[in-house]
Amino acid sequence: MADWSFFKGIQDAGHFYRSLRGFGYSAAEMVDPDRRDIALAAGLKLLNMTCRNFPGLMNHAEQREQAIADMRNDIQAAAARGIGQLIILSGNRGGLDDATGQRNCISAIKAVAAEAERAGAVLTLEVFNRYDHPDYQADNSDFAFNVVRAVSSPAVRVLYDLYHMHRMGEDVATVVARNLQWIAHLHVAGSPNRDFPGNSQEMDYRHAVRTIHQAGYRGYWGMEFLPARPPLEELADAAKLFQSLAG
């Protein structure tokens, strides 16, 4: 459950996180630092945090050192809080070709991969679509997987967002099933409106979940959609839906 998309208008954080635990959620993502202890007290794991260099710097060589410094600082911050994943971002193209962007990302990530391994943190390179994030460079799975394979570290993986990549025209179930070894985590939302991932949107999550589950994926399905109804209602429904699909 991505905290940013659901914790809106919530008055009682403790009740919110305890309710999630009751629905069957075991982790929360990108939790605001002021609420992390409350989420932990409710029995939720803090799955990840976003690197402070949002929307990313590492694909441009002139910003490489700042990107490396940010990742180093955040690797230690994540480890100190027991947060297992750090979301990293390619940065915007700004006229840069993909081959050069990939080389620069590989170079920056390689510089900190061993530190991440020692800290027990996994750097997860996230993919975005170009409609919500214009000019973002890692807007296709090939870019992200090429970077992660080249770095070749168990502490570097892809955060594959099914909503974003469906918007980019990918056959998401097939892509994920073929690349499980390079994926740390999945994000979920309906397409094209980033709404509840049910039967009223374009993507067939029944097929996607079953295909990916049958391929061997046993990681988190991170809910990162924008609720139209009260957040806890939709999160309860999402938990029931995905438990039934993967069961």
Q: How far apart are CA 6 and CA 188, in angstroms?
A: 13
**Residue 11, number of CB atoms within 10 A of its CB:** 6
Q: How far apart are CA 35 and CA 20, in angstroms?
A: 14
Residues shown for the chain: 247
The confidence score (pLDDT) of residue 200 equals 87
Q: Is the preceding peptide bond at 192 cis, omega within 30 degrees of 0?
A: yes
* Dihedral angle of Cα 36, 185, 130, 75, to the nearest 10 degrees: 50
pTM of the full predicted structure? 0.96
Q: Is the pLDDT of residue 182 over 90?
A: yes
Domains of the chain: 3-246 (3.20.20.150)
Q: Supply 198's token pair.
A: 């049910």
33-66 pLDDT, tens digit per residue, is 999 999 999 999 999 999 986 667 899 999 999 9
Rounded to an integer, the average pLDDT of 12-40 is 98
Rounded to an integer, the average pLDDT of 136-152 is 97
Q: How far apart are CA 213 and CA 215, in angstroms?
A: 5
Dihedrals φ, ψ of 233, to 5°? -65, -45
What residues contact residue 203 under an 8 Å CB cut-off, 6+ apart?
162, 163, 166, 172, 190, 191, 197
Q: Is the pLDDT of residue 10 over 90?
A: yes
The confidence score (pLDDT) of residue 57 equals 82
Q: Is the pLDDT of residue 216 over 70?
A: yes
Angle between helices 98-119 and 64-80 (to 10 degrees): 30
In angstroms, what CA-CA distances link 103 with 13, 96, 203? 42, 11, 33
